[in-house]
Structure 1
């Protein structure tokens, strides 16, 4: 049994993910004599770190401007502008470098460990926990937090309660609002959770026969809204994925939830053109390639399977030459190239990297300390807050930043 003096020198971190571990190892390092315990509900530690980036771990993104970086967060931009002044991308790079982990930058700005192996990051964090005496408990399910004097009583399922001076909640995002009950009981309020970062299902659509076809630049738009993104697009056996679609799902998370994931996606396969500018440029191609079969001559650099699919969907036969293209089919092709309609019915979680928007309202948390404005001694880190980023290392940077700030314990 821990006596009052020991409890007064204890931090309990709820959640054994990226934000929780970063808070725990930094708190133990910065405050010698502080007892730090990580409580993980499941049997797995750092599970998202392990699977992220296809098992390589996309640690952060190579953006050194806070203003540019915060534009990658559909929710939390203003909050992070303040938080990032305390711990930002260069700090993350330096923190890992000091512990023997070098990061490299890819062409799209994503940063990975030089080893291309997420286990490098997992091992680094576990080593730090070991070095600084962090106690790690798995299968530790926190059911309630109770304010007791200057500290906290942490109630557990099937185990004795623990006393602590500080608590940091880094439990990740919850898919259902009622799972936040143990935090709303303290007076906190939440923004209702909604899935973010998902792919679009197009059941029965002939485009799914092109699974595996990728386009380096396409513009995707939700019909009837202002939501649109441009970037790489991948056709899958269930519909569409790739960075453009995932970013669109993040920005449209709440709207698409309201639509119950039934909407029309407009795809412009040639984002340098709209239907009118394509119509203006068309006569030149028709003239230059007049004698050639349209099925074999694709002037747009589109994958050949996709080009033939677009011709098929526009009612254009294999033996038609460019100069013989009838007006009706030509108009349909131009529309399909710049605003092709795809009915979407449903979504699929993007790999194991499930992200939710929603969480503890940011107005109730001090971005300079990550301390609750409602309950002193209570801190937050990571996705449990109403902050989420698009793909590319942005969610991890928020985890490192909020974990590091919370570790200062104000």
Structure 2
């Protein structure tokens, strides 16, 4: 048995971060990284539209931890060891500067995910991490003083330490090889997804985006932010955040529910009614269709008017109360029946995974199996969109690497 070996399972953000940092901190450690596919860091590549949303410019750990629908208490502890400023500094020391956008998302100044990928690959090369792609793990076997990593088509690898960063599995049965180590799996479900509204006339506005408040009828779920109309329904940050917070609740509804959208989040029905009354006096002679007074995208405004039965030639002074009532409903309480979901491919995340009570947040080591560590999405931790899932990946990878290096002495 190689007592100076670490096998990292998974070639994503958490796996790479553990591998390169463990190899750097413990010079005598032999690090082997296994990736089942032919692609390394595939999520890093596509994140943020190919720019890589590395982390989030959070003011403190408490603020950050509240952006995780599952795992809040866990990350609050782990972020005490490696947090956003540490991530920024780690990349800066390796020639990669990050910048914050107004919404808090942080990207490399190059606006290219390849910058992050190249940095991690350089580090792996510098610290002699052995990378093996197209290598699928079929199981883990405990040995007297370490582990045997079983591979599908190759001989097993004996090792002292194992770091599992295999990502989230959409089906519970895929976790079987980890369950066999004695760990409990919280059933996995999609966490970031868009709302399907087949046949709804609003999909004719695909590409239109506007800030709105979204709530799910019959639940406490409510979010505000940009909403994007797509050719299948609704997407955008407000929808994705709603889906993350409601992952289990919406699954229980079999993704059949009503989303109520307020396209004017500063208004409710009463305040909008008063507002429209004053506009009938102030803008009386103007055609309603020509220009909307709320700063909405023009296509969205005209759609609302059509749905409310407002005549194309109508002027503000002529707006009948029946049509006005319909318009108010369209603007601040549009009912959108949702029938199904679409996985948001770019930031696909599952909730569920290894039960957190079985992992030490200060080391990422299993409480059940010594020298077995976990990182990233394989655990029951998931954040909303905006760089939160990557920060958890960097933090868990780094903390595990530190713990392993400490054990190496």
Aligned to 2:385: 391
How do 1:375-386 and structure 2 match up within 5 A? Answer: 375-386=369-380
Aligned to 2:62: 67
Report the 3-state secondary structure (helix = DSSP H, G, I; strand = E; otherwise coil) of the residue aligned with 1:233: strand
| Match 2:124 to one of 126, 129, 132 | 129
The Cα shift of 1:281 comes to 2.7
Aligned to 2:329: 335
The 1-side partners of 2:30 and 2:169 are apart by 28
The Cα shift of 1:280 comes to 2.9
**Residue deviations 1:184-208, cap 9 Å, x none?**
1111001110101111111111101
Moved over 6 A (4+): none
The 1-side partners of 2:95 and 2:59 are apart by 22
The 1-side partners of 2:45 and 2:368 are apart by 34
The 2-side partners of 1:200 and 1:57 are apart by 24
| Match 2:106 to one of 111, 118, 123 | 111
Q: Does 1:370 align with 2:364?
A: yes
**Residue deviations 1:54-78, cap 9 Å, x none?**
1111101111300101111111111
Question: After alignment, is 53-62 or 344-353 more displaced?
Answer: 344-353
How do 1:215-234 and structure 2 match up within 5 A? Answer: 215=210, 217-234=211-228
The 1-side partners of 2:114 and 2:275 are apart by 51
Report the 3-state secondary structure (helix = DSSP H, G, I; strand = E; otherwise coil) of the residue aligned with 2:267: coil
TM-score after normalising by structure 2: 0.97
The 2-side partners of 1:18 and 1:229 are apart by 28
The 2-side partners of 1:258 and 1:245 are apart by 18
The 1-side partners of 2:271 and 2:305 are apart by 19
The Cα shift of 1:235 comes to 0.9
Aligned to 1:240: 234
Aligned to 2:284: 290
Q: Does 1:31 align with 2:26?
A: yes
The 1-side partners of 2:59 and 2:282 are apart by 46
Q: Does 1:271 align with 2:265?
A: yes
| Match 2:181 to one of 186, 195, 206 | 186
The 2-side partners of 1:87 and 1:301 are apart by 42
The 2-side partners of 1:380 and 1:297 are apart by 55
- The answer to whether the 8 A contact 1:64-1:90 is kept is no
The 1-side partners of 2:289 and 2:276 are apart by 16
**Residue deviations 1:203-247, cap 9 Å, x none?**
1111011111111x2001111111011001111111111111111
- The answer to whether the 8 A contact 1:364-1:374 is kept is yes
- The answer to whether the 8 A contact 1:172-1:383 is kept is yes
The 2-side partners of 1:352 and 1:227 are apart by 23
| Match 1:54 to one of 44, 49, 53 | 49
- The answer to whether the 8 A contact 1:105-1:112 is kept is yes
The Cα shift of 1:279 comes to 2.0
Aligned to 1:213: 208
Aligned to 1:17: 12
Gapped regions of structure 2 (runs ≥ 5)? none
The Cα shift of 1:297 comes to 3.4
The Cα shift of 1:90 comes to 0.3
- The answer to whether the 8 A contact 1:227-1:248 is kept is yes
The Cα shift of 1:276 comes to 1.9
The 2-side partners of 1:261 and 1:227 are apart by 14
**Residue deviations 1:373-408, cap 9 Å, x none?**
110110001000001111111110000000000101
The Cα shift of 1:303 comes to 1.0
Question: After alignment, is 56-65 or 289-298 more displaced?
Answer: 289-298
The 2-side partners of 1:224 and 1:275 are apart by 19
